[in-house]
Homo-oligomer: A and B are copies of this chain.
Amino acid sequence: MHTLNAENREMLKKERQEFILHQLNLHNKVLSADLSRNMNVSDDTIRRDLQELSQTGRLIKVHGGALSKSFHKAFDRQMVYSIESKNIIAQKTAQLVQNGMYILTAGGTSILEFAKSLDPQLNATFFTCSLNAAIEFAHHPSIEVVMIGDKVSKDAMLTTGANAVQTIESIQADLCILGINSLDTSFGLSENDWDVVQIKKAMIKASKKTICIGISEKLNSQQKIKVANMDEIDILITELDPNHPTLAPFKRQGITIY
């Protein structure tokens, strides 16, 4: 089949500028050099983009790059720290996604961060029960998003129920990416909400590989209902270095750490 996207490495000007703003939303700052390398255009082009965006007041241009307008807002250090961690996790996770994959995901802030970090060129299909994740994925230029429908569980902002489970069962996915609520070497992955557990169990079953992502403080804790035993989990991603001692017990159980 003829795809219109053959080797379409170049971006349209506006696209580039949107991308820059998106990066700014994400990281609060961008470096011209990074951008030009990333998007395969000359420094001049990026500089002109930044200039235009700055003229229309969408960002603050500084020597070497640009800052987000909202950067000057007060922020507490705790928050920033946690965001930084989630960003690391997101980056690592994004690297595991390949073109053409079918991926099941639940919700959670880590997943949202992951959605933002996906390569703009990626082609993949995401199935999700999370309203927020669906929206985030839908912002991506090229991936396809399928929302799994059912009753909306208000505190998780997730669709749950028999219908959703049934839909998931009809999918054969390559990956299942789950945010960690609690993960423990003996009890495995656990969760407090019965309905959400059913969804996650179904997702794991419907996928060839299961990836758990989350900040390390969620490790070595348990919640009331088990989602999966450790042997059902293939990959664990945290903000820590793969060789960090905290992760050793998990590695010993045969889980791949990134």
Contact = CB atoms under 8 A, between A and B. Distances in A.
Contacts of A15: 29, 62, 67, 71
Given A2-B6, A131-B135, A13 B149 contact: no
A116 B201 CA distance: 34
A108 to B, nearest CB: 15
Contacts of A254: none
B2 A38 contact: yes
Interface residues of A, number: 57
Contact of A4 (B12, B30, B63, B164): B30
A18 interface: yes
Number of copies: 2
A135 B132 contact: yes
Given A15-B67, A145-B151, A138 B157 contact: yes
Contacts of A150: 146-147, 149
A3 B245 CA distance: 51
22 contacts: A4-B31, A4-B34, A4-B38, A12-B29, A12-B62, A12-B64, A12-B65, A14-B62, A14-B72, A15-B67, A26-B144, A70-B138, A70-B139, A138-B157, A145-B154, A146-B149, A146-B151, A147-B149, A147-B152, A149-B150, A149-B163, A149-B164
A142 B14 contact: no
A25 B60 CA distance: 22
A15 B5 CA distance: 20
A208 interface: no
Which of A7, A18, A71, A152 has the most chain B CB within a 10 Å cutoff? A152
Nearest to A30: B4
A222 B108 CA distance: 41
A173 interface: no
Nearest to A8: B31
A28 interface: yes
B167 A138 contact: no
Interface string A13-48: 111001000010011111100110010000000000
Contacts of A151: 144-147
A1 interface: yes
A2 B141 CA distance: 32
A181 interface: no
A103 interface: no
A99 B159 CA distance: 23
A180 interface: no
A124 B32 CA distance: 24
